[in-house]
Amino acid sequence: TVLTQSPGTLSLSPGQRATLSCRASQSVNSNYLAWYQQKPGQAPRLLIHGASSRATGIPDRFSGSGSGTDFTLTVSRLEPEDFAVYYCQQYGDSLTFGGGTKVEIK
């Protein structure tokens, strides 16, 4: 399963809403779709699993939605620490990652 993330780069200001897309080449089994955040020089951090369940300790401004082939990560109000690269991952058919979306400060 190939995952395509869009846009490649999102330029926004703190306080704005971020909407990131992840599209799968075939339906993701059981909505086994996760989202990660990665900052420069750091390991990725799990944000969302099962398409919409927040991982432990993740603020509620992060939310995941979608099913089948189309998934979305929404950050309701961007905080300064949210500017990073975000990856989606499917684990319903082997394991694959999307190419990433960079959220940068406008």
Partner 1 sequence: EAQLLEWGGGLVEPGGSLRVSCTASGFTFSSFGMNWVRQAPGKGLEWVSTIGGSGDDTYYTDSVKGRFIISRDNSKNTLHLQMNSLQVEDTAVYYCAKDWSRLVGSAFDFWGRGISVTVSS
Query: Binding residues for partner 1, per CB under 8 A?
Result: 32, 34, 36, 38, 43-46, 49-50, 55-56, 87, 89, 91, 94-100
The per-residue b/e assignment along 7-29, b for 16 or more CB within 10 angstroms, e otherwise, is: eeebebeeeeebebbbbbeeebe
- 46 three-state secondary structure: strand
Q: Which is nearer to partner 1, 37 or 78 (CB)?
A: 37
Q: Which is nearer to partner 1, 49 or 66 (CB)?
A: 49
- Please report how close the Cβ of residue 65 comes to partner 1 at its closest, in angstroms: 16
Q: Which is nearer to partner 1, 32 or 76 (CB)?
A: 32
Is the Cβ–Cβ distance between 46 and 56 less than 8 Å? no
